Chain A
Amino acid sequence: MRIEAEGVRARLAGREVLKSFAFTAHPGQLTAVIGPNGAGKSTLLRTIAGLLAPDAGTIRIGDRDFAQWPRADLARVLGYLPQDRIVHWPLSARIVVGLGRLPHRSSAAGESREDTAAIDAAMSSMQVAGLEDRPVTSLSGGERARVLLARVLAQQPRILLADEPAAGLDPAQQLALFQHLTRIAADGCTVVVAVHDLSLAARFCHSIVLVHKGAVVAAGSPAEVLTPAHLAATYGIEARYHVIDGVPVVLPVSVLP
């Protein structure tokens, strides 16, 4: 399912965070949203997820305008993974993953056969099947990130918005997480992630959207977007873009005066 946003403006606590934003993401692709802290990455994702009402502009999800999506319908096609990996009660991992089935369930019904199948598939795909009885609060950061990603997968979304899913994970977990995201996109999902690690974005994402001060500075392939000029203008850094053994690497060298 395609996402198209045009001329989107949004404010947070009175401050305009998104200023006339244009954004497109395609099915089967992993799209990265990058930009300095406070650039508006999270606000962009929250606006597309319908959690923040824009002041102006149009957002289309699939072939329908945003206003024509009832909340309950949207929850069945769009999954949103917040940045904070909050789980307020020590629920077992399986129950947390099962929360992703809420939009597909009528209020009275228990777990249907489709629910069970979706939960099992999501857990084995994220390799957390062995943790199913463990309270989520007792899991390591990487395990918890995988359980929460499995929760969104159990929702069987056609659009997945993840806000800095790799934050706070060690390099092995970051690589594994992005491999998972790549696979999810390959299955036909439209995956949009906010990312801080430019090398991860360069290596795994099909297209990159560079955000600065609430506006899009550049959008396109990693090589087009991650140029020294763009990075100097937005992050204020001198950076190199290298390809080592076929793997693109962005190396920040120094902070520009």
Chain B
Amino acid sequence: MTAAGADTRMPPSMLLGVLAAVTAASFVLSLLVGPSGFGFGPAGEAGTLIFWEIRLPRAVLGALAGAALGLAGAALQGYLRNPLAEPGLIGVSGGAALGAVLAIHLGLSQAVALALPVGGLAGAAAAMLAVVSLAGMQGGAVTLILAGLAVSAICTALISLALNLSQNPFASVEMVFWLMGSLADRSLTQVWLAAPLILVGLALLLSVGRALDALTLGEDAARSLGVDLSRTRLAIVAGTTLAVGAATAVTGVIGFVGLLVPHVLRPLVGHRPGLLLPVSMLGGATFLLIADVGLRLAQPAVELRIGVLTALIGAPFFVWLVLRTRGELTP
């Protein structure tokens, strides 16, 4: 474990200020970069169109989805007191993916453009209801993880079934691509559909900071400090469903951000789970924005999807985590 002394760290307000500035800069950078050249697009109608219809939705979505994944990851790691927890653990991502895949499979997305994100949202909500009714509102952390795993497994099985039964090769390709996650070619309408839900989810998740700090001392001590654990659990489950469910419904599955970002940033806040929440939210947004900029710079040489890129970055990171944990366990 990192033994960072208090004196070597920035005060929280300064750290948050610096991160907010970095996030804002990444957002602007994301608006400036694209295949049509650096800057706010070419002059004239085409430029305006590129800015409003392509770059702005992409940047807003990148920032919101990254913020949702980073914050939800930090909240779940704090609540479950486990550094390996991530938003997908409680079944929300799986539910959103299943909902979207079904929308494609049933041909709804061909008929109505918004059927895909709406399907994803419905899937995320259904997954949350299933997890909550399985785990109960009072149960401990372990029951929540088990219920999340069970629901995720069911979603994965049904996604495989949909892919398997798909008669239409185009639909199959669309499903597979959607499962890889992407920020490209999303309309402002889709962004406006997801943004309010994501923002409410973020607010709910940010509200549990004190509870997570208190939970460092265990559930009994946290309750004796006046923390309402049922309320905390509800805020985390509902907040994750809204933020990550809505983000996933529009972008597809983007893995590892929720695991990696809180993990990397934790030493910066002296491992305080409450302070880690806003820090991971900003860090997640920055990470996804920068990753997406990198993706566009690599075009047209390589056509990569953001979910594939985050997995390519995240999986080696996971290997490093395993090696480090092994190093800690063997003297």
**CB-CB nearest in chain B for A71:** B226
Q: Point out the residues of chain A lying under 8 angstroms from B215, CB to CB.
A: 88
Contact A90 B1 (CB under 8 A): yes
Could you say which of A90, A92, A99 contacts B225, with CB atoms under 8 Å apart? Answer: A99
CA distance A201 to B74 in the complex (A): 44
* B153 on the A face (CB < 8 A): no
* A20 on the B face (CB < 8 A): no
Contact B271 A89 (CB under 8 A): yes
Segment 1-21 of B: residues with Cβ below 8 Å from A: 1-3, 5-7, 12
Q: Point out the residues of chain A lying under 8 angstroms from B221, CB to CB.
A: 80-82, 86
Could you say which of A51, A84, A99, A137 contacts B213, with CB atoms under 8 Å apart? Answer: A99
Could you say which of B225, B270, B271 contacts A102, with CB atoms under 8 Å apart? Answer: B225
Could you say which of A80, A92, A110 contacts B224, with CB atoms under 8 Å apart? Answer: A80
Q: CB-defined interface of A64-89 with B at 8 Å, one 1/0 digit per residue?
A: 00000001101110111110101111
Q: Point out the residues of chain A lying under 8 angstroms from B203, CB to CB.
A: none
* B249 on the A face (CB < 8 A): no
Q: With A87-B217, A91-B271 in contact, do A51 and B223 touch (Cβ < 8 Å)?
A: yes
Contact B1 A135 (CB under 8 A): yes
* B116 on the A face (CB < 8 A): no
Q: With A135-B3, A138-B3 in contact, do A89 and B218 touch (Cβ < 8 Å)?
A: no
* A254 on the B face (CB < 8 A): no
* A96 on the B face (CB < 8 A): yes
Could you say which of B5, B210, B273 contacts A89, with CB atoms under 8 Å apart? Answer: B273
State how many angstroms separate the Cβ of A193 from the closest Cβ of chain B: 15
State how many angstroms separate the Cβ of A66 from the closest Cβ of chain B: 14
* B76 on the A face (CB < 8 A): no
Q: With A91-B270, A95-B270, A107-B210 in contact, do A72 and B6 touch (Cβ < 8 Å)?
A: no
* A94 on the B face (CB < 8 A): yes
Q: CB-defined interface of B210-246 with A at 8 Å, one 1/0 digit per residue?
A: 1001111110110111111000000000000000000
Known contacts A89-B81, A89-B273, A102-B225; 9 additional CB pairs below 8 A are: A75-B224, A86-B221, A88-B81, A89-B271, A95-B6, A100-B225, A107-B210, A133-B6, A151-B217
* B305 on the A face (CB < 8 A): no
CA distance A72 to B228 in the complex (A): 9
CA distance A72 to B221 in the complex (A): 13
Q: CB-defined interface of B196-219 with A at 8 Å, one 1/0 digit per residue?
A: 000000000001011001111110
Q: With A51-B223, A133-B5 in contact, do A71 and B216 touch (Cβ < 8 Å)?
A: no
Contact B2 A46 (CB under 8 A): no
Q: Point out the residues of chain A lying under 8 angstroms from B5, CB to CB.
A: 92, 133
Contact A103 B226 (CB under 8 A): yes
* A61 on the B face (CB < 8 A): no
Q: 9 A–B contact pairs at CB < 8 A? A: A46-B220, A51-B223, A71-B223, A75-B225, A88-B217, A89-B266, A92-B270, A102-B210, A107-B210
Q: Point out the residues of chain B lying under 8 angstroms from A145, CB to CB.
A: none
**CB-CB nearest in chain B for A151:** B217
State how many angstroms separate the Cβ of A75 from the closest Cβ of chain B: 3
State how many angstroms separate the Cβ of A52 from the closest Cβ of chain B: 9
**CB-CB nearest in chain A for B13:** A110
Contact A84 B218 (CB under 8 A): yes
**CB-CB nearest in chain B for A72:** B226
CA distance A105 to B5 in the complex (A): 24
CA distance A79 to B223 in the complex (A): 11
* B272 on the A face (CB < 8 A): yes
CA distance A138 to B228 in the complex (A): 30
* A49 on the B face (CB < 8 A): yes
Q: Point out the residues of chain B lying under 8 angstroms from A207, CB to CB.
A: none
Q: Point out the residues of chain B lying under 8 angstroms from A72, CB to CB.
A: 226
Q: Point out the residues of chain A lying under 8 angstroms from B228, CB to CB.
A: 71
CA distance A95 to B2 in the complex (A): 15
* A132 on the B face (CB < 8 A): yes
State how many angstroms separate the Cβ of B42 from the closest Cβ of chain A: 46
Q: Point out the residues of chain A lying under 8 angstroms from B210, CB to CB.
A: 102, 105, 107
* A190 on the B face (CB < 8 A): no
State how many angstroms separate the Cβ of B33 from the closest Cβ of chain A: 37
CA distance A93 to B226 in the complex (A): 21
Contact A89 B216 (CB under 8 A): yes
State how many angstroms separate the Cβ of B82 from the closest Cβ of chain A: 9
CA distance A100 to B7 in the complex (A): 21
CA distance A87 to B221 in the complex (A): 10
CA distance A103 to B226 in the complex (A): 6
**CB-CB nearest in chain B for A102:** B225
Contact B224 A49 (CB under 8 A): yes
Of the candidates A86, A99, A100, A133, the one having the most CB atoms from chain B within 10 angstroms of its own CB is A99
CA distance A95 to B81 in the complex (A): 17
Contact A92 B6 (CB under 8 A): yes
**CB-CB nearest in chain B for A49:** B224
* A155 on the B face (CB < 8 A): yes
Q: CB-defined interface of A104-132 with B at 8 Å, one 1/0 digit per residue?
A: 01010010000000000000000000001
User: When A and B form their complex, which 7 residue pairs have the shortest distance between CB atoms, in order from nearest?
Assistant: A75-B226, A80-B224, A89-B271, A88-B81, A133-B5, A90-B1, A86-B218
State how many angstroms separate the Cβ of B135 from the closest Cβ of chain A: 18
Q: With A88-B81, A137-B1 in contact, do A99 and B224 touch (Cβ < 8 Å)?
A: no
